[in-house]
């Protein structure tokens, strides 16, 4: 018989063997409460107790999505709600918040959860053991001494190392970055509002925002949009969903609360939603692999997004995405005539529209920022858009109307022709901009196109507005103003290098362009100023209005006319309109372009008033004060504000410094007692066109830099 000790020896290894780690089958809140978890995310227990967020942050292993989310894609539809102009006989089923899929986050501490933090982390650490490979002693030291068991330092901050160490999920488990397009379809569909709310924003977009670019064929979009709500989730086009989200984001950003409150959305909610829907639009594009699978709709998303970037002053995003979109357009062959294989007339026409929209946007940004164009489109053979309305286009035919008939595309057709000419300015990266003959030749080509305008684009604006259908007259006049003011300001930019000394008739051309820049705008506001100031179309047109007002304000500041009343009245008219729009929205949805634009223009006027006061003191023999403070204020405060329309911050700063130096020298060499009589005596802009007027020493200096298109707030 063997000794008893042998039995004990054989049993000891079995007792000391490492205990098998059990798989975590419950979410963290259920483990802490020691209740059974149904392994859904969020689980039923957490839904009852209102702990959905905690459940999503700390789900059981292998249960990222709810059971419904895993099985629904093949059968679930996006059902319609009662809408404006869309089918209402579809079953009313909504994706509830508990069905939305939210990715787990690195944070393991939910707000308001501090009371069980010790036991929670103890439970989690017990389940997870030491997954880091760090020696146990060092691991426990990091847990207890350095981060106090929470992954946070004493001051509440968290390092990258601690965030990784205390993440709620193991690195090898599935995370949101591993998910396929199917996941993102589920997720993004859950971010959509009810259809009745979507319909409000879609209608608002087509009525108040689409006129600026008109890159979307309305009937086709509405048909696809109506079909979306009854489509299986797996069949949803992510790029189309991106376009829908961008339209929703613009609507949430611009639409007045009086409209949105009717569908249960107040101003505070909209301020959060427009940022969320913009982010959803970008995520849908990424998940739809738009960069590797080019589509026409991806280019449309960019064109529509421009309004958002302009009004949020996010010019970096605009220019970054423009380069990527141009590559997509070239991959689609938009820079060439559509191949015969494309037989759908709507698709062929939309290719022409979108290409010339892209050319115009690229050229416009080059004019504003002083950079070379990304597209050399001056020799493009792509046909210009047809002069037709959206309803004139069908898959089999297009009714191209006479040029004398005003349509939704009339302005856009001529915009394409004008910007194709302006694109020539950047041949050889703008190497010919210093040649007066070259620039004058471009101006002659612009004048030839302008002379070919039909009656509704060159007749008196009041007459044209009275002879157009009321339903389209306002949008048409806004389009005319946008094109007219853009061309006027660019003519000033082109001739500024030739004003000191004056070359040819560059002076006359600059003055002529400046005096007429606000002509169409004034006609728009004349009949009913109060109604005009409530116009929603002002939002998209604010960029052009801001630019023109800066130009006029700079005339006052630099040139100092002796009778500035009419010019200042025009500037204050624009300030009044911009302030009215700023006051019509709450602070959480303030349009930065408008609110900041008002402050910049008002600052220029304040500098003008200070300069007038100092000049008055100088003529009276009093001390003039220190000009250096004024120079510093102008450069530091105004350069960033005017750079996006001036040609970049370096150009703006050089202009202000040069202008200051030149005007200081003029003042030092002038007879201060007779200074007021040495300047141009005008009571209105028309006097500038009279060659018999006597110009003083300061006149040429202004137009030398007014080159800035008036975008230069300054003074000496």
* In the chain, where the domains are located: 26-59, 180-332, 554-663
Task: Give the span between the Cα atoms of 446 and 547, in whole angstroms.
Answer: 20
Q: 10-38: per-residue pLDDT in tens?
A: 444 444 555 555 667 888 888 888 888 88
Task: Give the span between the Cα atoms of 588 and 267, in whole angstroms.
Answer: 8
Task: Give the span between the Cα atoms of 507 and 94, in whole angstroms.
Answer: 64
pLDDT of residue 116: 37
Going by pLDDT thresholds of 50, 70 and 90, the confidence category of residue 73 is very low
What is the mean predicted confidence (pLDDT) over 365-382? 89
Q: Which of 201-215, 377-391, 664-678 has the lowest mean pLDDT?
A: 664-678
Task: Give the span between the Cα atoms of 160 and 151, in whole angstroms.
Answer: 10
Of 641, 652, 637, 649, residue with least CA distance to 708: 652
Task: Give the span between the Cα atoms of 708 and 604, in whole angstroms.
Answer: 14
Q: Percentage of residues in the chain with pLDDT exceeding 70?
A: 66
Q: Which of 335-349, 495-509, 595-609, 630-644 has the lowest mean pLDDT?
A: 630-644
Distance of CA 547 to the CA centre of its chain: 17
Task: Give the span between the Cα atoms of 152 and 629, in whole angstroms.
Answer: 47
DSSP character string of 568-586:
HHHHHHHHHHHHHHHHTS-
What DSSP character marks residue 466? H
Task: Give the span between the Cα atoms of 181 and 188, in whole angstroms.
Answer: 10
pLDDT reading at 256 higher than 90: no
Encoded tokens for 393: 């286009």
Encoded tokens for 45: 């227990």
Q: Considering all CA atoms of the chain, what is the largest pairwise distance in Å, rounded to the nearest integer?
A: 135
A 10 A CB-CB count for 319 gives 15
Q: Residue 468 belongs to what H/E stretch?
A: none
What is the mean predicted confidence (pLDDT) over 389-396? 94
A 10 A CB-CB count for 550 gives 28
pLDDT of residue 321: 94
pLDDT reading at 634 higher than 80: no
Contacts of 633 (CB under 8 A, 6+ apart): 607
More confident residue, 692 or 389: 389
* Model confidence, pTM: 0.71
Q: What are 155-164's contacts with CB under 8 Å, separation 24+?
A: 163/106
Alpha helices by DSSP H, listed for 209-237, are: 218-228
The beta-strand segments (E) located in 64-145 are none
More confident residue, 503 or 604: 503
Mean pLDDT across the chain, nearest whole number? Answer: 74
Task: Give the span between the Cα atoms of 556 and 563, in whole angstroms.
Answer: 10
Of 446, 522, 425, residue with least CA distance to 480: 522
Q: 90-141: per-residue pLDDT in tens?
A: 333 333 333 333 443 333 333 333 333 344 344 444 444 444 444 454 444 4
CA distance to 182, 212, 548, 575, 696, per residue, from 564 (Å): 64, 33, 16, 16, 16
Q: 146-181: per-residue pLDDT in tens?
A: 334 445 555 566 777 777 666 665 655 666 777 778
pLDDT reading at 523 higher than 50: yes
Encoded tokens for 51: 């702990």
CATH class of 26-59: few secondary structures
What is the mean predicted confidence (pLDDT) over 397-416? 94
pLDDT reading at 219 higher than 80: yes
Of 693, 696, 675, residue with least CA distance to 684: 693
pLDDT of residue 258: 81
Q: 362 with 306: CB under 8 angstroms?
A: no
Going by pLDDT thresholds of 50, 70 and 90, the confidence category of residue 657 is low
């Amino acid at each position: 018989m063997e000794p008893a000790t042998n039995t004990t020896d054989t049993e000891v290894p079995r007792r000391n063997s490492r205990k098998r780690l059990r798989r975590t089958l419950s979410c963290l809140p259920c483990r802490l409460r020691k209740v059974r978890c149904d392994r859904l995310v969020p689980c039923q227990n957490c839904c009852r107790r209102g702990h959905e967020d905690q459940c999503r942050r700390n789900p059981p292993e292998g249960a990222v999505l709810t059971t419904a989310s895993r099985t629904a894609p093949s059968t679930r539809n996006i059902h319609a709600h009662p809408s404006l102009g869309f089918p209402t006989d579809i079953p009313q089923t909504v994706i509830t918040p508990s069905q939305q899929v939210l990715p787990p986050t690195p944070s393991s501490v939910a707000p308001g959860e501090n009371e069980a933090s010790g036991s929670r982390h103890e439970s989690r650490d017990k389940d997870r053991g030491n997954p880091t490979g760090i020696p146990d002693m060092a691991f426990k030291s990091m847990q207890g001494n350095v981060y106090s068991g929470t992954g946070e330092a004493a001051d509440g901050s968290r390092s990258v190392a601690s965030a990784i160490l205390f993440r709620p999920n193991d690195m090898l488990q599935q995370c949101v970055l591993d998910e396929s397009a199917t996941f993102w379809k589920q997720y993004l569909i859950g971010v959509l509002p009810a259809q009745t709310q979507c319909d409000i924003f879609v209608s608002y977009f087509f009525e108040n925002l689409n006129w600026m670019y008109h890159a979307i064929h309305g009937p086709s979009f509405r048909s696809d949009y109506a079909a979306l709500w009854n489509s299986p989730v797996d069949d949803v086009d992510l790029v189309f969903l991106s376009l829908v989200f961008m339209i929703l984001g613009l609507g949430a950003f611009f639409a007045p609360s009086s409209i949105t409150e009717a569908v249960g959305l107040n101003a505070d909610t909209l301020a959060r939603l427009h940022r969320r829907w913009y982010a959803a639009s970008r995520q849908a594009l990424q998940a739809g692999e738009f960069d590797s699978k080019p589509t026409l709709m991806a280019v449309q998303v960019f064109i529509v997004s421009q309004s958002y970037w302009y009004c949020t002053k996010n010019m970096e995003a605009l220019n970054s995405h423009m380069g990527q979109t141009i590559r997509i357009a070239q991959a689609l062959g938009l820079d060439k005539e559509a191949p015969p294989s494309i037989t759908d007339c709507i698709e062929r026409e939309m290719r022409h529209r979108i290409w010339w929209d892209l050319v115009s946007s690229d050229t416009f940004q080059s004019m504003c920022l002083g950079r070379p164009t990304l597209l050399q489109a001056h020799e493009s053979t792509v046909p210009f858009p047809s002069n037709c309305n959206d309803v004139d286009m069908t898959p089999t035919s297009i009714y191209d109307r006479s040029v004398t008939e005003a349509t939704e595309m009339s302005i856009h057709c001529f915009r394409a022709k004008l910007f194709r000419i302006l694109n020539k300015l950047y041949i050889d990266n703008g190497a010919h901009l210093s040649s007066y003959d070259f620039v004058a030749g471009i101006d002659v080509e612009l004048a030839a196109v302008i002379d070919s305008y039909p009656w509704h684009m060159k007749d008196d604006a009041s007459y044209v507005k009275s002879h157009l259908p009321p339903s389209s007259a306002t949008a048409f006049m806004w389009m005319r103003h946008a094109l007219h003011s853009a061309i006027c300001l660019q003519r000033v930019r082109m001739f500024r290098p030739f004003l000191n000394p004056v070359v040819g008739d560059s002076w006359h051309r600059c003055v002529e362009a400046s005096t007429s820049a606000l002509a169409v705008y004034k006609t728009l506001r004349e009949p009913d100023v109060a109604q005009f100031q409530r116009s929603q179309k002002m939002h998209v047109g604010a960029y052009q209005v801001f630019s023109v007002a800066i130009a006029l304000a700079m005339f006052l500041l630099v040139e100092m006319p002796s009778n500035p009343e009419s010019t200042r009245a025009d500037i204050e008219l624009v300030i009044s309109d911009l302030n009215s729009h700023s006051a019509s929205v709450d602070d959480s949805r303030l349009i930065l372009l408008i609110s900041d634009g008002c402050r910049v223009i008002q600052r220029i006027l304040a500098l003008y008033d200070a300069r007038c006061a100092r000049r008055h003191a100088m003529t009276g023999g009093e001390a003039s004060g220190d000009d250096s403070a004024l120079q510093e204020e102008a450069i530091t405060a105004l350069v960033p504000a005017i750079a996006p329309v001036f040609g970049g911050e370096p150009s703006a700063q050089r202009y202000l410094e040069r202008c200051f130096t030149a005007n200081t020298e003029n003042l030092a060499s002038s007879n201060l007692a007779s200074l007021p009589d040495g300047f141009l005596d005008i009571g209105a802009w028309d006097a500038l066109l009279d060659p018999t007027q006597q110009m003083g020493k300061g006149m040429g200096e202004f137009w030398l830099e007014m080159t800035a298109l008036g975008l230069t707030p300054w003074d000496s």
